[in-house]
Structure 1
Amino acid sequence: MSKFEHDLQQQLDSLSQEKQPQRDLWKGIELSLEADRKEVTESGFHGKHVALAASVALVAMVSWFTLKPFSPDSQDTLNGQTLVQALSNQHEQQMDALLVKFEGQPAVTQNWKQQLQELDSAANAIKAALEEDPDNTALLKMLQNVYQQQMMLVERVHAPKWQQI
């Protein structure tokens, strides 16, 4: 062991094993928990709940579509394009709500809108593929995944976890 390493080890050994915070952290934790409860109560949904609801809605619509018996004379049969349009409309409403929620809050990164546009381009590519194969459940899941990534991006850029306490 070199002299530097030996000196470093001695200094490390001499440090106190316990580090006490400079102030009481429980007050901040309690305020954060109360703010989260208040936000959930006021909005009715938290971002994770919105994503979960969207997932459940997609699975229900895909299941209903795939399990519903085909009847050529039925006018209410949900086709793939109608499902894609419904999914897109739902996502647009959720994104609008998120953007309004975080309006005026500074973003932690400057290029988040570019990232959002890249995800939007991916969604458009998936929609174009769905025009060719509208009943492809893998493509529908990919579209839903891109939509969830967009929502998580907006949430993380405006309310990162390290700022919540």
Structure 2
Amino acid sequence: MSNFDEQLSKHIAELSKEKQPERDLFRGIELGIEAQRESNEETQGQGVSSNQWLAIAASVCLVTVLWLSAPFAFKPDESKNDNYALVDAMSSQQQQQVSSLLASYQSTPSIDRRLAAAVKRIG
């Protein structure tokens, strides 16, 4: 082994096995634990504040007013009834047109009869 290696081994042996912190860490840990306990105690013991009760009461009142006024505020639109009348009129007109087309189709001779008559004339 070289001289450098021997000195390095000597210095390593002289070092302590434990690394000590530069400052006391327990005080910071203790303060953190206490702060967490205090915040937990505040949130558990507090319950619902008066402002929260007022907000809840106002919300309930608003929902009640809206629920009671809904039938008056949202009256059925009269123009929808006019649209339904238009749809009914167009439907009946379409049904009449279909009936007249069926009647005219039934009065014309079928293609088979025409074809048979043409074949008789030719043959």
Q: TM-score range by the shorter chain?
A: under 0.3
Point out which structure has higher relative CO (alpha carbons under 8 A, 6+ apart).
1
Higher helix share: 2
**Which structure has the larger Rg?**
2
